[in-house]
């Protein structure tokens, strides 16, 4: 698709001012409704980091209205699910959890229940909510995030259900307040939407066309994050490699990376997701040159077979993908590569699936996000003949996992004795007094240490590799 240069479309200052007025009005309503203590909001995010970043902006607005946040939905006055539509399984979980809210709402009549995100942007979903879940008060799509104050005001004042799921031309709302759970590990959206229309993917339908934030806005937010103590900034977009393509700024993704790399501070830069079609040697050279950019490349290949790739409308071949990998490893010998794979795309044969296995053997990925094909409403692949039964696809899937587990275990074994810089992210789930963090290459590692180190970089020597799980010791 050719996209001509156009001005980036941002929400007007007037519209943003109107929304701020709604925030003030809601503040007044809430102080009357909850005179004793601040009302509580429970926000649950499904899906990708793009959704996490959206939730941070929604929470920012809720916080300004006077809400405080709770992890317990039963005590919440406002419950919001930010939903994901990428696979059927994700949607089923949302419907299940919305159903589970019914008895809670029966006991707490003035609880407001809201649903937003990608699922709501699909007509059949919002209609099902309208029809079958009458206790849901507010539904809004991905284009209305900056209009939460206006929409919530309508619910609070009118008591009627509000549905706002129209697709707009997808403006960018700058200047929204952001509420982050952690200041040291942060998300920074640089673009929204997707123009690629991979034949299996619902994203272009629920998030609209690609639009990049102005480089000045990205840099401004990066500086703010650094001043708040960010140790890791992950740049987000469905396809970060096409950043700036349809804007007049002349700043492409490698240039943007370079600009952020030049900002002073002790922080690392990550980014996701890269599309192989738009991944250039310029980008890989830039990564190699920029000392703050983590040595990690998430480059989804989806399938190792050229016929399947063509049916998926991916825009590259197995050979082109492997060429990129060879180049990345040449300019960054320590690069850690991860990927996404779909098993059982309609019409894929076992022989074709074996090309995916051989690609995994060739690249030796650090880790993989693997999915069985899930038909999505409105996508081209949903109507393609799909003769292989799910049970058969599951077998292929298990075969793939086994191969990857072996490779990851071999790679991890090879790391024993080496020392890595690790950002300490928290305590281990087992609560055994140990800390957990991630290496530059995005591999989890746990080690003994004091909780005061959370949010800091430490040097950790790998002492043990159990399959693909690393443990180590902090080096003084």
Q: Which residues bind ligand 5AD (CB under 6 A)?
A: 86-87, 200-201, 300, 302, 340, 342, 371, 373-374, 376
122 binds ligand SF4 (CB under 6 A): no
Measured from the CB atom, the residue of 186 and 238 that comes closer to ligand SF4 is 238
35, 36, 31, 55: which is closest to 45 by C-alpha?
Answer: 55
Which residue shows structure tokens 């190792």? 304
Which span sits near ligand SF4 by CB under 6 A: 22-30, 193-201, 221-229, 412-420? Answer: 193-201
What is the distance between the terminal CA atoms of the chain, rounded to a whole angstrom?
A: 53
Which span sits near ligand SF4 by CB under 6 A: 50-58, 196-204, 329-337, 410-418? Answer: 196-204
Q: Which two tokens stand for residue 79?
A: 């419950």
Report the SS3 class of residue 173: coil
What are the DSSP calls for 329-370, one per residue? HHH-TT-EEEEEEEES-TT--HHHHHHHHHHHHHH--SEEEE
CB neighbourhood size of 384 (10 A): 15
Among 50, 149, 189, 204, binds ligand SF4 (CB under 6 A): 204
298 binds ligand SF4 (CB under 6 A): no
Number of residues counted as binding ligand SF4 (CB under 6 A): 10
85 binds ligand SF4 (CB under 6 A): no
Query: Which does residue 139 bind out of ligand 5AD, ligand SF4, none, counting CB within 5 to 8 angstroms by kind?
Result: none
In the stretch 230-249, what mask flags binding to ligand SF4 with x, by CB under 6 A?
--------xx----------
Cβ atoms 115, 136 nearer than 8 A: yes
Q: Where would I find the H helices in 72-147?
A: 88-99, 101-107, 123-132
CB of 40 to ligand 5AD, least distance (A): 32
142 binds ligand SF4 (CB under 6 A): no
In the stretch 248-287, what mask flags binding to ligand SF4 with x, by CB under 6 A?
---------------------------x------------
Q: Which two tokens stand for residue 284?
A: 């890989």
Helix, strand, coil percentages (3-state) for the chain, rounded to 5, are 40, 20, 35
Cβ atoms 279, 271 nearer than 8 A: no
221, 265, 197, 275: which is closest to 243 by C-alpha?
Answer: 275
Query: Which does residue 196 bind out of ligand SF4, ligand 5AD, none, counting CB within 5 to 8 angstroms by kind?
Result: ligand SF4
Cβ atoms 118, 206 nearer than 8 A: yes
CB of 308 to ligand 5AD, least distance (A): 13
Query: Which does residue 138 bind out of ligand SF4, ligand 5AD, none, counting CB within 5 to 8 angstroms by kind?
Result: none
Measured from the CB atom, the residue of 84 and 115 that comes closer to ligand SF4 is 84
Cβ atoms 63, 26 nearer than 8 A: no
Among 80, 94, 203, 218, binds ligand SF4 (CB under 6 A): 203
Query: Which does residue 239 bind out of ligand 5AD, ligand SF4, none, counting CB within 5 to 8 angstroms by kind?
Result: ligand SF4
Measured from the CB atom, the residue of 217 and 340 that comes closer to ligand 5AD is 340
Cβ atoms 256, 243 nearer than 8 A: yes
CB of 85 to ligand SF4, least distance (A): 11
Q: What's the order of all strands across the beta sheet hosting 296-298?
A: 296-298, 336-343, 367-372
**Minimal CB distance residue for ligand SF4:** 201
196 binds ligand SF4 (CB under 6 A): yes
Kindly give, in sequence order, each residue whose CB lies less than 8 Å from that of residue 107, ignoring residues fewer than 6 positions away: none
Q: What is the CA radius of gyration of the chain?
A: 23
199 binds ligand SF4 (CB under 6 A): no
CB of 198 to ligand 5AD, least distance (A): 7
Question: Given the rule CB under 6 A, which residues bind ligand SF4?
Answer: 194, 196-198, 201, 203-204, 238-239, 275
């Amino acid at each position: 698709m050719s996209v001509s240069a156009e001005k980036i479309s941002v929400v007007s200052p007037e519209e943003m001012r109107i929304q701020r007025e709604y925030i003030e009005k809601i503040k007044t309503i809430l102080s009357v409704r909850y005179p004793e203590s601040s009302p509580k909001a429970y926000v649950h995010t499904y899906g990708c980091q793009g959704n996490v970043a959206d939730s941070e902006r929604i929470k920012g607005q809720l916080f300004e209205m006077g809400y405080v946040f709770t992890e317990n939905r039963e005590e919440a006055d406002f419950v919001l699910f930010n939903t994901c539509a990428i696979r059927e399984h994700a949607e089923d979980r949302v419907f299940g959890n919305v159903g589970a809210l019914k008895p809670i709402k029966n006991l707490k009549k003035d609880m407001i229940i809201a649903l937003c995100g990608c699922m709501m942007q699909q007509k059949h979903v919002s209609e099902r909510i309208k029809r079958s879940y009458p206790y849901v008060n507010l539904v809004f799509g991905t284009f209305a995030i900056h209009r939460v104050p206006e929409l919530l005001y309508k619910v609070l004042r009118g008591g009627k259900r509000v549905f706002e799921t129209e697709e707009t031309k997808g403006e960018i709302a700058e200047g929204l307040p952001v509420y982050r759970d952690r200041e040291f590990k942060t998300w920074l959206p640089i673009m929204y939407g997707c123009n690629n229309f991979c034949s299996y993917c619902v994203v272009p339908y629920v998030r609209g066309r690609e639009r990049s934030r102005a480089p000045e806005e990205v840099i401004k937010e990066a500086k703010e994050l650094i001043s708040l103590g960010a140790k890791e900034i992950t740049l987000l977009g469905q396809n970060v490699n096409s950043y700036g393509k349809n804007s007049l700024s002349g700043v492409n993704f490698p240039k943007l990376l370079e600009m952020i790399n030049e900002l002073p501070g002790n922080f690392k830069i990550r980014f996701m997701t890269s599309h192989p079609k738009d991944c250039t040697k310029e980008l890989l050279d830039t990564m190699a040159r920029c000392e703050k950019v983590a040595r990690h490349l998430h480059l989804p290949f989806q399938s190792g077979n050229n016929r399947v790739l063509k049916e998926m409308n991916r825009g590259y071949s197995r050979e082109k993908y492997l060429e990129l990998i060879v180049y990345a490893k040449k300019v960054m010998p320590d690069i850690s590569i991860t990927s996404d794979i779909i098993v059982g795309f309609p019409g894929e044969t076992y022989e074709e699936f074996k090309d995916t296995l051989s690609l995994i053997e060739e690249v030796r990925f650090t880790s993989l996000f693997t999915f069985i094909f899930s038909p999505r409403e409105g996508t081209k692949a949903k109507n393609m003949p799909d003769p292989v039964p799910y049970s058969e696809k599951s077998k292929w899937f298990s075969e793939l996992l086994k191969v990857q587990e072996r490779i990851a275990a071999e790679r991890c074994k090879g790391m024993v004795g080496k020392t890595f810089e690790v950002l300490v992210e928290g305590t281990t789930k087992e609560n055994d007094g140990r800390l957990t963090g991630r290496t530059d290459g995005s591999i989890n590692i746990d080690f003994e240490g004091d909780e005061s180190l959370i949010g800091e970089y430490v040097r950790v020597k790998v002492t043990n590799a159990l399959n693909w799980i690393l443990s180590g010791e902090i080096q003084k």
